[in-house]
Structure 1
Amino acid sequence: MMNSDHGAQRFAVVVDGYAMGGYFHEAFAAHGTKLIHVQSTSDLLPKLSPPDLGRYVANIPWAGELDVLNQLLPFRPFAVVPGIEPGVPVADRLGELLTVPSNGSKLSRARRNKYEMGECLRNNGLRAAAQFKSGSIDELMLWVRRHRHYPVVVKPLDSASTDGVFICRSEASVAHAAKSILDSWTIFGSQNSEVLIQSYLEGDEYIVDTVSHGGHMYVCGVWRYEKTFINSERRVYDRDILLSPQDDVVSQLADYVSGVLHSLGIDYGPAHAEVIMTPAGPTLVEVGARLNGNLHPGFHQAALGHDQAQLTALSYADPDRFLREYAGRVYHKNTEAILFNGHTQKKGVVERVNDSVLREMENLRSTFLLSPRLHRGSRVEPTTDSLKAPLRACLISHDRDQIEHDYKKLKSLQEELFVVTPD
């Protein structure tokens, strides 16, 4: 693609390149593409680690869509991708304005607002949880009384990482959860003005990661979630287990998620769907039109032979190859793989990392990557969501018994890793 101002150089745009959005650098660089960063906000989001802006040829803080568009036009970008959830509607709109392959803005709200997401699926004949939203605790309580079935799930409309998600088994619990949410802000820095309440979906929960081009979907990986209760109302992620593509549940999930993406207009780029296999069949928890938040390219490439950021870049930079090699297909599993999220009940300040425990964890035969997320002086709070997980570990092995043994060993050692001075 020629560009009068920038020679033969090709450019793509990342909106909100926080967290996993940073993996687009290497993915697009493999296609000779440089990146421009757009902030969906005028200032960087304060609750998230900032992106490395030095890796972009330009950074454009939000000052209205026309201002951003005018700054982008000289680069003639061929793709716009979101790094994290708040970047999704901005990426949709900019892609539309730049007339590049884009999901468009018509269904952007349904791709972010969990209530509208569910209603969109229902209107397209897909299974969805019974649900209600309101900023009034009294109205929420009225719905619960009419619904008559416990437990129910109470959560914010547009957060992530199990942030503010409660499983409630009584009216008192619902009222407490709703008040807690309405009194709080999302991890993306916006105040919760409404609460979503949904029927509780019974069954195993799965991750379905995809990349699409022109509505042609490739399933990058399917993982089974295992969560653990930290109290009667809150669960946290414990581990994600990579499934064999030959597992019967994979084809059922892929068919259902294909319908979900079509209903929500996610025809281009990555998607990360969380689905529960209920007795009635697959039912969506939520889907994000962005990368899996637990993506680690090296881990995924070892387990699957590719990663979602790499495939996303390919789908935009070389769509013919993507359609020829991936569209309509399902991943190949190279090895057993588990992503483990540690948790803690400790509260206080980290005095030190227990080096002998750290070495024991690192020396487990299936440990691919171990990431302690606290250090000396860090404040420790009991884990209530994946953002507060004190430890993350990627495990890989061709031996299923070995990887299961090492997972259990990590669980047994996790509370010994950090020496904490209690409050």
Structure 2
Amino acid sequence: MTSKAELRTIRAGLAHTRGGVVRTEEELTDLLASWASYPLVVKPFNSAGSDGCRICATPEEARTAFWAIAGQRNLMGEINEGVLVQEFLAGSQYIVNTVSMDGRHLLAELYAERIDRVEGSPVLRHITSRTTPDEHEQELVDYTMSCLDALGFRDGAAHTEVMLTADGPRLVEVNSRLMGPYLSPDAYHCGFGYSSPHLVAERLLRPEDFRNRFDLPYGPAHTLAKVFLRAHRPGVLSSADGLRELRRLPGFHSVARLPQVNDVLRDTQLTTGSCGTAFFVHEDAELIEHSLAVLHEIEDSGTLFQVCEVGG
């Protein structure tokens, strides 16, 4: 069954991602019979944090992924009654955060994502804000606004993920909510001069002040990076000595929600912030990119978080 988002983008004449929602193995088999190319993506119809996302290279892998998702409780606390199958999009993935008022959409934040593939699952390592969108990124922003129009989105926050492919932008998903999982405003105000929750409150409490923002160009002065910290493997946290090196990296702003010694770190691939979140803010985007590369080396080497076997 074609998703409602796909149907509406088709009707609006927008380029779209091929996909469908299936609820039974029979529906999955019928959908796969018409699928011409692999890999494809299988994920819960409604969840978050990369929960259950799998990149499948064969029909057999797709069926295995379906049964790992269908009927299970997802991160939203709901039972997965539908599983979304989408074509795999090659390109660079972006986040476009907006706040809308009376059908007009304000670009609040634009981020490029770094996504690694770990054991067949996409793992979001960090997002980095874009201060001045280039020509292709502006096309992606305009495309996102058209998708919001096609979906009938008129008011409030939206967190949209879009892939910039060789054929242009393609919608991955629209979430009618703020971006999570951690929204303490300090780093965002440092990077943008505001936070998305701030904009939502302003739209509701001071609508005329918010309306004036539509006349201002998008262009934050600083680059902000948000890193979903991860341990190199599951286990019991025995030490976090690498945090001292993290805090010394150029552009470091803050860390939040760090795990405590003796905490059990179970799924290190989800982007729920269970291993903490680090923020970097600086006017020099290249400096931040260098710090992020060093940080990921520290994570992957096992020197940021030291873990031991459960019960060990």
- TM-score (structure 1 length as normaliser): 0.69
Q: 1:219 aligns with which of 107, 112, 119?
A: 107
Tell me the residue number matched to 1:103: none
Q: Whose radius of gyration is greater, 1 or 2?
A: 1
Aligned length: 307
Q: What secondary structure is seen at the aligned counterpart in 2 of 1:386?
A: coil
The reply to whether residue 177 of structure 1 matches residue 62 of structure 2 is no
Q: Deviation per CA, 1:131-180: give whole Å up to 9, x if none.
A: 12222123212312311210111111111121111111011110110000
Q: 1:373 aligns with which of 237, 258, 262?
A: 258
Provide the C-alpha distance between the structure 2 equivalents of 1:161 and 1:347, rounded to a whole number of angstroms: 17
Q: Contact 1:304/1:331 (CA < 8 Å) preserved in 2?
A: no
1:143-154 equivalences in 2 (<5 Å): 143-154=31-42
Q: Contact 1:345/1:382 (CA < 8 Å) preserved in 2?
A: no
Q: Contact 1:206/1:222 (CA < 8 Å) preserved in 2?
A: yes
The reply to whether residue 390 of structure 1 matches residue 275 of structure 2 is yes
Tell me the residue number matched to 2:155: 268
1:179-198 equivalences in 2 (<5 Å): 179-198=67-86
Q: Contact 2:256/2:276 (CA < 8 Å) preserved in 1?
A: yes
- Letter paired with 1:371: A
Instruction: State the superposition RMSD in angstroms.
Output: 2.0
The reply to whether residue 313 of structure 1 matches residue 201 of structure 2 is yes
The reply to whether residue 292 of structure 1 matches residue 176 of structure 2 is no
- Letter paired with 2:287: Q
Q: Deviation per CA, 1:32-55: give whole Å up to 9, x if none.
A: xxxxxxxxxxxxxxxxxxxxxxxx
- Letter paired with 1:374: P
Q: Contact 2:231/2:305 (CA < 8 Å) preserved in 1?
A: no
Provide the C-alpha distance between the structure 1 equivalents of 2:88 and 2:188, rounded to a whole number of angstroms: 31
- TM-score (structure 2 length as normaliser): 0.92
Provide the C-alpha distance between the structure 2 equivalents of 1:248 and 1:390, rounded to a whole number of angstroms: 36
Tell me the residue number matched to 2:287: 402
Q: Would the alpha carbon gap of residues 329 and 136 (structure 1) be closer, same or farther in structure 2, given more than 3 Å must change?
A: farther
**Shift, 1:343, TM fit:** 2.4
- Letter paired with 1:387: T
Q: Contact 1:130/1:198 (CA < 8 Å) preserved in 2?
A: yes
Q: Would the alpha carbon gap of residues 388 and 181 (structure 1) be closer, same or farther in structure 2, given more than 3 Å must change?
A: farther
- Letter paired with 1:312: V
Tell me the residue number matched to 1:344: 231
Provide the C-alpha distance between the structure 1 equivalents of 2:216 and 2:39, rounded to a whole number of angstroms: 37
Tell me the residue number matched to 2:95: 207
Using the TM superposition, name which of 329-338 and 207-216 deviates more.
329-338
Provide the C-alpha distance between the structure 1 equivalents of 2:157 and 2:223, rounded to a whole number of angstroms: 23
Q: Deviation per CA, 1:184-228: give whole Å up to 9, x if none.
A: 211111111221111112211101111111112210111111101
Q: Contact 1:223/1:240 (CA < 8 Å) preserved in 2?
A: yes
- Letter paired with 1:380: L
Q: Would the alpha carbon gap of residues 408 and 164 (structure 1) be closer, same or farther in structure 2, given more than 3 Å must change?
A: same
Provide the C-alpha distance between the structure 1 equivalents of 2:217 and 2:69, rounded to a whole number of angstroms: 38
Provide the C-alpha distance between the structure 1 equivalents of 2:293 and 2:234, rounded to a whole number of angstroms: 23
Provide the C-alpha distance between the structure 2 equivalents of 1:246 and 1:380, rounded to a whole number of angstroms: 37
Q: Contact 1:212/1:327 (CA < 8 Å) preserved in 2?
A: no
1:6-17 equivalences in 2 (<5 Å): none
Q: Contact 1:218/1:329 (CA < 8 Å) preserved in 2?
A: no
Tell me the residue number matched to 2:222: 335
Q: Would the alpha carbon gap of residues 299 and 285 (structure 1) be closer, same or farther in structure 2, given more than 3 Å must change?
A: same
Q: 2:43 aligns with which of 155, 161, 178?
A: 155
Q: Point out where structure 2 has 5 or more consecutive residues left out of the alignment.
A: none
Q: 1:361 aligns with which of 246, 250, 259?
A: 246
Tell me the residue number matched to 1:120: 8
**Shift, 1:129, TM fit:** 1.3
Tell me the residue number matched to 1:105: none
Q: Contact 1:132/1:140 (CA < 8 Å) preserved in 2?
A: no
Provide the C-alpha distance between the structure 2 equivalents of 1:347 and 1:242, rounded to a whole number of angstroms: 29
The reply to whether residue 244 of structure 1 matches residue 127 of structure 2 is no
1:75-94 equivalences in 2 (<5 Å): none
Q: Contact 1:115/1:157 (CA < 8 Å) preserved in 2?
A: no
1:220-235 equivalences in 2 (<5 Å): 220-231=108-119, 233-235=120-122
Q: Would the alpha carbon gap of residues 323 and 388 (structure 1) be closer, same or farther in structure 2, given more than 3 Å must change?
A: closer
Tell me the residue number matched to 2:141: 254
Higher helix share: 1
**Shift, 1:389, TM fit:** 4.8
